[in-house]
Structure 1
Amino acid sequence: MYKAVIVDDERWIVEGIKAGVRWEKYGFQVAGVAENGKKGLELIEKLRPDFVLTDIKMPLVNGLELIKRGKEISPGTVFAVLSGHAEFAYAQKALNYGTFGYCLKPFEIDEIESMLAKLSQSLKQRNDLEPERDAQELYEVLCSGNEQLLAEKLTSAGMPVSAALPVTSIVVQGYLPAPYREDIQHIRFRMNKRRSGLLVYSHLAESLLSSLYLSGNATEYSIGIGPSSADPAGLEASLEAASVASYGCFSTGKGGVYRSMAPKESKVDDLLSELAGALAQKDRMRFVSVMESCRPLFRSNALTIKDAYLIFNTVMFLFTREGVKERAKFLEGYDQLFYDYGQSDAMIDYLVKHTLHHLSDELPSRLAGVTHIRIKEVLTYIHHHFNQEISIQSLSEKFYLSPTYLSQLFKKEVGENFVEYLSRLRIQYACKLLAETDMTVSQIGEKCGFNDYFYFTRIFKRLNGMTPTQYREAR
């Protein structure tokens, strides 16, 4: 039987799930329940369960933190989340941490049982993963760069490589799905706990690939395909390319099959240059703008995990160079990046949040004077997006508050109304751009979120007592 743990601070929900779901039918038993995330982590450490079903918003430790820390404690545990409609964005974010799925409250018992049926099959496949062909020694030789010994190992394994019989590398990120075409000759090896490699003759690759891809839910794993190699000497590079491609799920947020791309002019150098300039000038909006521009590039797979690794460590290095007292975090490899963040959006969110205190002098002091948690969230959002289209109406929809109540609460907590606050933020940024760049006044107005040049100059003069042009000339 698979061990399951339920974590929710609403006791009646826990009891309802525990009693109403036919756990044993799907091979599970509820080994423990917890009323908050802290006790949930203690249960995970004690029981090492196969499955944890957790709420999102809980006291002491929330569901997202529970999943992240729980995976560190028990890497083999599978997580799924319960979430109210108002917390749907959190449930979606939980998917970035590698969760199996989520159920929206109010939920149906059938919905949970359907998830258990899929999970039971997935766990069974995971437990049946011992390779039929023990090829770990061959993998070690492949990584060693000893071409002669590799050729010998491939021949003894029944897969000699030649121009007539080139070989293709395949890497599966996650647990290798089964069943697959055993009748197709291939060599299979474990690269680490989360990644498996396969070598197959190129003319049979599509057949093997189809059996792998169709054997289960494609969103549960990501497959990378390397270039064909007609020489043992090229297999190491082929496997490396397939390995990078297998992280396509990190870039796009979607599982599936990703083929290695031919070398081309990378956009990452320009992005790194922009990020360096933004950090040097302590220009938060420029930094956020560059990071946001990365999102569609990752989603289209124009940027890979190699680029993400460069971006992350470069930002951390620049923090160190700028003398930031906060301890910088450096990644040791793609696996750590994938394990810590799961998906490029989560990495970008972290970097944007991480730069907050370094690049913004006003927000921390503003937040310190605000008591209402929702207004803290609204203020943070405004500081991240003030150069975009933003209104009380859009904020009320995003934060689930009525426009009237939000306006009143904002004025009470912040001391000025939303329009005044937003205008002042935009004009402060305009002053920075006027002093530090050669952009035209019109360009600066647009970059600060003003679509009307004359409205921009009017607001600027009202707040500064002079026009943008006069301000620049006085610097």
Structure 2
Amino acid sequence: MNMYTLFIADDEKIVIEGLTTDVPWEAFGIAICGTASDGKSALAEINRLKPDLVLADIRMPGMTGLELIGKAKKSNPDLVFIMISGYSEFEYARRALELEAVDYLVKPMEAEDIVRSVRKAIEKLEKKRMERSLSSRLEKYENELAEKHVLHLLLGRRNADAEAKEVLTQPFAAAVLLMKDGFRSHEALMVHVREQLRHCYLFTVEASIVLVSLQPEELRSCLQRVLDLFPGSAGLSSIHHEARNLPVAYEEAKEALKIAVFGSLGLTEYEELGQYGLHKGTRMIREIEQFFLSGGSLKEMDGMMERTLDYARKHKLSPQKSKVLCFALIKHFLEHMEKEYELEDKMFGEGYLLYETVESLQTLDELERWMRATVREALEYLDNNRISFNEKLIHELKQYLHEHFSEPIVLEELGRHFYKSPAYLCSLFSKNAGKTIFEYITALRMDHAKKLLRSSNLKISEICEKAGYSNHKYFNQVFKKNTGKTPGQYRSEHVVKLHSE
């Protein structure tokens, strides 16, 4: 037997006591949960206790029984009233019945009359519960059937669009969520979503949660709130208006989710990807190429990596495009190092092996860690071998100058010959040789001029040309500055010494 709760409201204490004790309530499956002697107190207690049945006097201080019915039913529409009164006025009875009271009893009441009214009230309650249960089961069945149609269409089942068309009668959008906690957070998340979205279908497909909402405008804000509570990523499709486009919406949401997961983003919308277009990424490729063509410093690589990663995140590039960008940056960097420092062996193997490594990375964070590790290893390798590289370069440069000092020397030509920037060559030479390239060339020219002055009968103008000077006057100035004597004085002194020996 179902148990029901009864609340009694009457301004006469003796009536309350009689109703409480004279009727065997438990035999009817009823428990008295409370009483009140005025209308206001009765309303407050009814709202608090939420009984199934109310036995109330029509006339009470503070609020009449009729007023009590109207106000109590606002918060509890299924509440069943039995009205009692000391008056047998038709108007009271008519009004009570209009307010859906089950019965109207006139004092003094016999126990049999009360029992009969209570049984009538219980029948009404049970009928309502049965109707509610039936309605709930029917609604559940309809919802499950609708979910089945939507899921079949979502997964591309044949002939599913006809059934789903009856369900997706409004504009809709799809979303796919992938939570960091995996299945542990799915149940709580789905409860949270259902509380916020009335018209929404939820499914678990493999490791992700799929939502199809007939409230597309509300779906976006719902997803943002969900991701604040449940860490993860989500992809949101554009809005669609025809049921047959549900598989398209699903693919859009999955594509957006890939970007979100790869870039460690929260919510990514498919419409954003469409706005950026397929051409995105080419500008960054050009910037990378220009960086190395203009002799970008290795010290600036950190900044270049930051710009590349920021570009990928800001433009929400696909995983493939992001990998191409990062691979291009590292490939140019390594080629720059191999060329700049004349490395005989490729530090990280062939390009295709490098790209295989890039292809195996799953997120932008992994790409960033790989890039930074590669640059760090390359720079460490360079630091460990820099001395031998520099020594070899300086040796070859000095040898070149010894062979060509009598020719016009132009820094730009030296740079092209040794595949280095003129500024780099000058800086490296000064640090290693202790003098500038031009000071070294001048010393070579002066040594050669002195040798010819001491050992030949060539004219000074001829010696000037053989030493690499086209201007006789300038040669005299440079020679005196370096020896303290003019070429003629130097020859005279050394000829005399030779004769005296």
Same fold (TM over 0.5): no
Question: What TM-score do the two structures reach when normalised by structure 2?
Answer: 0.36
Structure with more helix by fraction: 2
Structure possessing the higher relative contact order (Cα contacts under 8 Å, 6 or more residues apart): 1
Larger Rg belongs to: 2
